[in-house]
Structure 1
Amino acid sequence: MSQKPVIARPTGLTALFVANIKEPGKYHDGRGNGLFLRIDPKGRKQWVQRITFGSKRREIGLGSCPTVTLAMARDEALENKRRVRQGLDPLAEKRKSQKAMTFSDAMERYLEVKLKEFRNEKHRKQWRSSLDAYAIPKLRNVPLDEITMQHVQKVLEPIWLEKTETAQRLRGRIEKILDWATVTEQREGENPARYKGNLSEVLPKPARITKTKHHPALSIKGAPTWWGALRSRTGIAAMALRFACLTAARSGEVRGMTWDEVDLDEALWIIPAERMKGQREHRVPLPDAAVQILREVPRIEGSDFVFPAPRGGKLSDMTLSAVMRRMQDNEEAEGRPGYRDEQSGRPAVPHGLRSTFRDWAAERGYDHIQAELALAHTVGTNVERAYRRTDLLIKRRQMLEDWSDFLENRGAASSTQ
């Protein structure tokens, strides 16, 4: 929404008007002092004075309301007018009187608070590493009140086309840091990292330049052969990979699985919300082959993990990938192409097994919602989810049994469900 200047009163603003007005816009004092109250879309109120020094028109922030009252803002505006008449630049004088906080300073202050929100260490590292790699080299010592849209543009342009997703996340992180700086009165005015109506006018639209890169997946027809090769491998990592494939679960969900999440008698695995990507509890019906793996997997004393690392800790995120990589290497050593994605030609990876399962379910005619729930995807609108009181556990159990039979080459599941 555009902010149109508004004359609040013919005789100027009043303290009562300033306290009660909430509509975003610019409200001029109307006393010839260049003073106006700016209210942004989030309802934040700031005092700004527009002056002309030499041939340049500029805006000076006078603080936020209600910390700075109307009377205080008028006094400061009058003093600035006097400085201009004396040939002094009020903005330059203001900067001399206080050490401006730089972007680097603001980033550190903001991250002290922000990073505490993340339970995942990986996310904490991603926030800092992207800022350190791309923003800090160009913005490190730039005072907050001097950062312009052009500064942010120069940070993003080198990676906007080649690393679009990273660039988008980086832009959002810079925007949040500068929002923090505005709220804490370290800077004033519009956020130069804002996308809509700002950077959107100088950078290509992400949707037009981003090419979705899917995880390489096994073909449906090649899955049983791959499964047979996996069955011949021993070790915790191979067992974890088999379990992940049978349940269509994410690698992280399997690697972090603990025994208190499992009910072997009910053949049920309940993943708590805090371990799920969607932050919702997920019930996984276990096919017979998956239950058999759990009965056979060796336990390490003192470890709660179902598939522990050698010393009892959690398996690393590369462990399952290494199993598939070694299987691929063995195939290539025998002169065969191995287990590759039919579209990209790249070797299949653990996460791609979920895509193979999804393709198989579609080919066999399973209900869309049933298959998506098996993958723990969010399905339907908020209203639809509110009225859907079941997670289709019984139907999903049969579907995963059929998937297990398919992998074992025990006959195809029926084509309609």
Structure 2
Amino acid sequence: MPKLAKPLSARAVTALIHSGSGQYTRHAVGGVPGLLLHVSASGARSWVLRASLKGKRGEWGLGAFPEVPLAEAREKAIAARAAISEGVDPTRRERIRKGLTFADAVAEYCETKLDAYRNPKHKAQWRSTLEMYAVPELGQMEVGEITVQEIIRVLDPIWREKTETASRVRGRIEAVLAWATVHGFRKGDNPARWRNNLDKIFSAPDALKRQQNGGGDKRQPALQLDDSARWFAQLKTRKGLAARALEFQALTASRSGAVRLMTWSEVNFAARVWTIQPGRAASKVSRKPHRVPLTETMIALLRDAEKVRRNDYVFPAPRDGAFSDMGLAAVMKRIQERDSVGFLDPISGLPAVPHGLRSTFRNWAAERTEYPREMAEIALGHRIGSAVEQAYFRADMLEKRRAMMSEWGSFLAGSNRKAERLFVASAKEIIRQVEEIKIISQLPEENQSEAMEKLFRALNA
């Protein structure tokens, strides 16, 4: 903070003159830290506030003297420093104070409040959703003029088609208008409030999601088991890191958020383990790290991704950040569109989505294998048993799960190890029988008939 000068009187300020050298002379007038009177060589005088905004030194003009007298200059300086303490440029604050538009309110809110978000991508998404859906309708309106009817015009076109996005937009409009109310730019109830307000107009988001997912079924649309190999074969033909991320998600039966935000620091090639650390909301690992065993197929996929490594993300988006949910969903949607039959959930009949791959894995483990239920649940990152059971059951069956995930990968690839073993055994038996027939054919003709009868009896035994 600048050194506080001794407060000067109005008469003393009027007597301040240029020093005679340089373009202008700065005089500290006291009363407010950083408040200066600039006197130019020509005799023109103006008020300036010197302060630091977000760690950078700057100066803000407060008007000419004597048009703006000392008392008013000090009031303006106090208001400007208050804005600076909130991280806001005081010039901008002064410009909008008479009539704050929604677009300016969004900018102000983002500038002062989004520092709480550590994820740069989340900050960008927060602002971009408002700029895409709300600002075109509300941007030029003063915040005090926005009513429920304007909010309805923003949300109605997207509420059913993009329910999750619309719900987020509503919440963000509510936050911006609440900020504007607290800062004195509007009065009255918040028109974007949900409870006892918009809930009387729009269907609840959760109810819409259940309806879109097939009535009361809360599951995400999943692949049918018999469609899995066909879907996986089509996925393998698609290029790009988004497709590889979806392939890795399918092989590991992990949540898309864990795969999208996966970093190389989580991968241990020597131990053949991917460790998802707790604390990331998208991964939904809250208490202790979740270990995912890496099969040979998974490791080969990661090694290919390592060849084009650009940063610590294993599957970085084109602009080097993490993919969004929509990035992986878009890959799945394109596969759906190019398939003549499609890949539909067996219950809801809706197109399968990335998160539904976890349900497909769970169905496979239950219906096509003899693996214990607990092992499949651990693979999905679910808690098993009661709190007491969890306290005693601390093993994560890593190596056993590795075998299970390897078999799951073979299933996706269109092969079945048990069927392969039976086929190999059958093939060996056929070869043995052919060899025996060759030997019989070399016997004297009178002995061939008896030998063939013995062979047929052995085959039918």
Q: TM-score, normalised by structure 1?
A: 0.56
Name the counterpart of 1:263.
268
Structure 2 contact 366–373 (Cα < 8 Å) conserved: yes
Name the counterpart of 1:300.
307
Q: Distance in 2 between matches of 1:163 and 1:312?
A: 25
* 2:123 maps to 1:107: no
Name the counterpart of 1:411.
418
Structure 1 contact 101–144 (Cα < 8 Å) conserved: yes
Q: Distance in 1 between matches of 2:160 and 2:259?
A: 35
Q: Distance in 1 between matches of 2:203 and 2:315?
A: 46
Deviates more, 1:356-365 or 1:315-324: 315-324
Deviates more, 1:193-202 or 1:246-255: 246-255
Name the counterpart of 2:156.
157
Pairing partner for 2:360 from 345, 356, 360: 356
Q: Distance in 1 between matches of 2:268 and 2:357?
A: 24
Q: Distance in 1 between matches of 2:109 and 2:316?
A: 36
- The letter for the 2-side match of 1:261 is E
Q: Deviations over 1:356-383 (max 9, x none)?
A: 21332343587777545533468899x7
Q: Distance in 2 between matches of 1:289 and 1:276?
A: 29
Name the counterpart of 2:186.
187
Structure 1 pair 328–368 and aligned structure 2 pair: CA distance change class (3 A)? same
Name the counterpart of 2:453.
none
Q: Distance in 2 between matches of 1:155 and 1:325?
A: 27
Pairing partner for 1:220 from 221, 225, 244: 225
Q: Deviations over 1:193-228 (max 9, x none)?
A: 211122223334445544334766432123245556
Question: Once the 2 structures are TM-superposed, how far is the Cα of residue 340 of structure 1 from its aligned partner?
Answer: 5.5
Q: Deviations over 1:220-269 (max 9, x none)?
A: 12324555676799997776554332211245544554443222343321
* 2:248 maps to 1:243: yes
List alignment gaps of at least 5 residues for structure 2: 1-96, 214-218, 420-461
Q: Distance in 2 between matches of 1:319 and 1:147?
A: 34
Name the counterpart of 2:54.
none
Question: Once the 2 structures are TM-superposed, how far is the Cα of residue 120 of structure 1 from its aligned partner?
Answer: 4.3
Name the counterpart of 1:17.
none
Structure number with larger C-alpha Rg: 2
* 2:137 maps to 1:138: yes
Question: Once the 2 structures are TM-superposed, how far is the Cα of residue 109 of structure 1 from its aligned partner?
Answer: 0.6
Give 3-state SS (helix, strand or coil) of 1:269's partner. strand
Q: Distance in 2 between matches of 1:163 and 1:326?
A: 18
Q: Distance in 2 between matches of 1:163 and 1:311?
A: 24
Question: Once the 2 structures are TM-superposed, how far is the Cα of residue 110 of structure 1 from its aligned partner?
Answer: 0.5
* 2:396 maps to 1:392: yes
Q: Distance in 1 between matches of 2:102 and 2:240?
A: 50
Deviates more, 1:129-138 or 1:340-349: 340-349
Name the counterpart of 2:125.
126
Structure 1 contact 217–355 (Cα < 8 Å) conserved: yes
Aligned length: 310
- The letter for the 2-side match of 1:283 is H
Give 3-state SS (helix, strand or coil) of 1:145's partner. helix
Q: How does 1:13-412 map to 2 (within 5 A)?
A: 99-210=98-209, 211-213=211-213, 217-224=222-229, 226-227=231-232, 241-251=246-256, 253-254=258-259, 256-273=261-278, 277=282, 278=284, 280=286, 282-290=289-297, 292-293=299-300, 297=304, 299-300=306-307, 303=310, 337=341, 341-342=345-346, 350-363=354-367, 371-376=376-381, 390=394, 392-394=396-398, 396-397=401-402, 399-404=404-409, 406-407=411-412, 408-411=415-418
Structure 1 pair 127–242 and aligned structure 2 pair: CA distance change class (3 A)? closer
Give 3-state SS (helix, strand or coil) of 1:186's partner. coil
Q: Percent identity?
A: 42
Q: Distance in 1 between matches of 2:379 and 2:110?
A: 36
Q: Distance in 2 between matches of 1:197 and 1:114?
A: 27
Question: Once the 2 structures are TM-superposed, how far is the Cα of residue 107 of structure 1 from its aligned partner?
Answer: 1.5
Give 3-state SS (helix, strand or coil) of 1:160's partner. coil
Q: Distance in 1 between matches of 2:134 and 2:327?
A: 33
Deviates more, 1:321-330 or 1:210-219: 321-330
Deviates more, 1:184-193 or 1:386-395: 386-395
Structure 1 contact 268–283 (Cα < 8 Å) conserved: no
Deviates more, 1:133-142 or 1:261-270: 133-142
Question: Once the 2 structures are TM-superposed, how far is the Cα of residue 392 of structure 1 from its aligned partner?
Answer: 3.5
Structure 1 pair 158–388 and aligned structure 2 pair: CA distance change class (3 A)? farther
Q: TM-score, normalised by structure 2?
A: 0.52
Q: Distance in 1 between matches of 2:318 and 2:169?
A: 37
Q: Distance in 2 between matches of 1:403 and 1:159?
A: 38
- The letter for the 1-side match of 2:418 is G
Q: Distance in 2 between matches of 1:238 and 1:138?
A: 36
Structure 2 contact 251–298 (Cα < 8 Å) conserved: no
- The letter for the 1-side match of 2:150 is H
Bigger proportion of residues as helix: 2
Q: Distance in 2 between matches of 1:110 and 1:150?
A: 23
Question: Once the 2 structures are TM-superposed, how far is the Cα of residue 299 of structure 1 from its aligned partner?
Answer: 4.2
List alignment gaps of at least 5 residues for structure 1: 1-97, 413-417
Q: Distance in 1 between matches of 2:158 and 2:338?
A: 37
CA-based RMSD of the aligned residues comes to 4.7
- The letter for the 2-side match of 1:186 is F
Give 3-state SS (helix, strand or coil) of 1:411's partner. helix
Name the counterpart of 1:46.
none
Q: Deviations over 1:67-94 (max 9, x none)?
A: xxxxxxxxxxxxxxxxxxxxxxxxxxxx
Structure 1 pair 106–234 and aligned structure 2 pair: CA distance change class (3 A)? closer
- The letter for the 2-side match of 1:212 is Q
Question: Once the 2 structures are TM-superposed, how far is the Cα of residue 106 of structure 1 from its aligned partner?
Answer: 1.5
